[in-house]
Amino acid sequence: MNILQKLSEAIQQGDDRLAASATQKAIEQQLQAAEILNNGLIAGMDIIGQRFRDMEIFLPDVLMAARAMHAGMDVLKPLLLQAGVESRGKIILGTVKGDLHDIGKNLVAIMLKGAGFEIFDLGVDVEAGRFIDAAVKEKASIIGLSALLTTTMPAMKEIIDLLKERGLSDQIKIIVGGAPLSQESANTMGANSYAKDAASAVETIKAMMV
């Protein structure tokens, strides 16, 4: 079993210590951060997602996998954070109301910080108004919204509508992402942009800043 398979296994078993040590070993073997992330950590989490959907495993198993994922991400973080010196701009980020998933949102935050953006992470289960208040307070021109549940996607539209109601949609742009979303759903809800993963979120946000 190679080190990335071992890392994926560690996530699936919810073994946070093994996840951290396998991530460290992968780094020592000079593997690229993106490879460790995609073919080790995320690969393991994808299998957890499938097994959860098929009811082969249950919520506590998913929670343990999430803890192991965070342990691996903590070790990988310095590599993903090849920090830009000058701030490229401020971004408000969070997971929408009713949704507690934060692994993907945290990855987006890490990659954006690495690209030199200043991130104000509001966390999970964030009320619509808080996103807008934070953007106004920090004079941020972009709000990034994450949702992992089909049932919480409508909360994104609520924020977009509230922004319009407050007459701020010319100054503040919205980018949305998360597993149940697509370019089509982003268009339908009226978001300015959509990104399918953390790496494309960085590229899309750079383009939005121009």
Q: Where do contacts with ligand B1M occur on this chain (CB under 6 A)? A: 42, 45-46, 48-49, 52-53, 59, 62-63, 66, 98-105, 107-108, 144-146, 148-151, 175, 177-180, 195, 197-198, 201
> Two tokens at 90?
């401020």
- Cβ at position 60, least distance to ligand B1M in Å: 8
- The residue (of 74 and 85) whose beta carbon lies closer to ligand B1M is 74
136 token code pair: 């106004």
CA 192 to chain centre: 18
Q: Which is nearer to ligand B1M, 129 or 180 (CB)?
A: 180
CB of residue 170 to ligand B1M, shortest distance in Å: 20
CB 120 within 8 A of CB 168: no
Nearer to ligand B1M, 7 or 103 (CB): 103
Sole residue written with tokens 């993963």: 197
Tokens of 146: 């994450």
Closest approach, Cβ 189 to ligand B1M, in A, equals 13
Distance CA 73, CA 142 (A): 25
Q: Tell me the C-alpha distance between 129 and 68, whole Å.
A: 33
Given the complex with ligand B1M, which of 28 and 184 has the nearer CB atom? 184
Q: How far is the CB of 12 from ligand B1M (least distance, A)?
A: 11
Which amino acid is present at 131? F
- Minimum distance from CB of 85 to ligand B1M (Å)? 24
Q: Given the complex with ligand B1M, which of 27 and 208 has the nearer CB atom?
A: 208
Q: At 129, is the secondary structure helix, strand, or coil?
A: helix
Residue whose structure tokens are 């993907």: 104
